[in-house]
Structure 1
Amino acid sequence: MTSTKARTTALITPVAQEVQDAAKALAAQGRTAQAVRRLRKGSGLSIHVAPVALNMLTQGHTLPIDYRQAVDALRQCDARLVSEMRNLLRDGDQDSAIKLLREQTDIDLTGGYHLVMALSAQLDAR
């Protein structure tokens, strides 16, 4: 059983396309452990989230390749969270937005920072 946090984190952690392709190829050869390692090495995915991401890839899902796509993915899977983060960013509270994202997902600190910066950039562009 996959946790919602792990699934959301897999959906919002950017993974280069070549890393996704390599992991899918390894999984297709039955080399699941190597596929998980390849995902972890090529991204910020944790030991708990990488297998979830691999499962999603093998089922035909795609993962974001940059933080702009990650923000879009987060908007699709948890619009309420994005709204709360936007409100915090409008109030100038970037740290609280990162903290909220990390509490609601299993994203690491660096990934959380970059995702919040991407969301902030989208707000500034409007």
Structure 2
Amino acid sequence: MQVRLEDAPTMNPNKQEITALITPVTAEFQDEARALASEGRETKALSRLRKASGPGLLEARAALAVLESGRTLPVDYPQALENLRSLAPDLTAEMTALLAVGDQTAAIKLLRDRTDIDLAGGYHLTQELAARQA
């Protein structure tokens, strides 16, 4: 299930929520975190999410809230990019403009400034956006 803006935890998602919704997590880790949370083992669920994708604690909490609401996180960067386009169309447009002039580094920096995505995630998401432009 793809996350759309209207499905976001709040109408104006914060940095942690956006980061959670643009950070891929395998279906296996999502299922495991969901099961742990349903057993009342939230700390272990957060730990699994952090291990799976490397987000900070706030991003992991936002990701767990998504999972507990019955929705899913992206499992790959194409899904993550679709979420980014839905959640932050202005950011996506700015990144696209930077990529159009060949400034991938600035596009990654902009993404990381506006979200809390890690460097590797920012690189891969920017690469996905660049590939879709070609």
Same fold (TM over 0.5): yes
DSSP-derived class of the 2:57 partner: coil
Between the aligned residues of both structures, percent identity stands at 53
1:70 lines up with 2:84 in the alignment: no
Equivalent of 1:91 in 101, 107, 120: 101
Deviation of 1:46 after TM superposition, in Å, equals 1.4
DSSP-derived class of the 1:19 partner: helix
Deviation of 1:67 after TM superposition, in Å, equals 0.5
State whether residues 44 and 111 of structure 1, in contact with CA within 8 Å, keep that contact through their aligned partners in structure 2: no
Deviation of 1:28 after TM superposition, in Å, equals 0.4
Q: Deviations over 1:90-113 (max 9, x none)?
A: 100000000000011010111101
- Structure 1's unaligned 5+ residue stretches are none
1:119 lines up with 2:129 in the alignment: yes
Q: Deviations over 1:2-48 (max 9, x none)?
A: 87000000000000000000000000000000000001111122122
Partner Cα separation in structure 1 for residue 49 and residue 91 of structure 2: 26
Q: Deviations over 1:67-103 (max 9, x none)?
A: 0100000000011110110000010000000000001
Partner Cα separation in structure 2 for residue 49 and residue 121 of structure 1: 26
The residue number in structure 1 matching 2:30 is 20
Task: Name which of structure 1's ranges 54-63 and 95-104 shifts more when overlaid on structure 2.
Answer: 54-63
The residue number in structure 1 matching 2:16 is 6
Partner Cα separation in structure 1 for residue 66 and residue 57 of structure 2: 15
State whether residues 9 and 105 of structure 1, in contact with CA within 8 Å, keep that contact through their aligned partners in structure 2: yes
TM-score normalised by the chain length of structure 2: 0.89
DSSP-derived class of the 1:30 partner: coil
TM-score normalised by the chain length of structure 1: 0.94
How do 1:20-59 and structure 2 match up within 5 A? 20-59=30-69
DSSP-derived class of the 1:61 partner: coil
The residue number in structure 1 matching 2:5 is none
- Structure 2's unaligned 5+ residue stretches are 1-9
Q: CA RMSD, aligned part only?
A: 1.1
Partner Cα separation in structure 1 for residue 102 and residue 90 of structure 2: 19
Partner Cα separation in structure 2 for residue 47 and residue 94 of structure 1: 28
Partner Cα separation in structure 2 for residue 101 and residue 78 of structure 1: 10
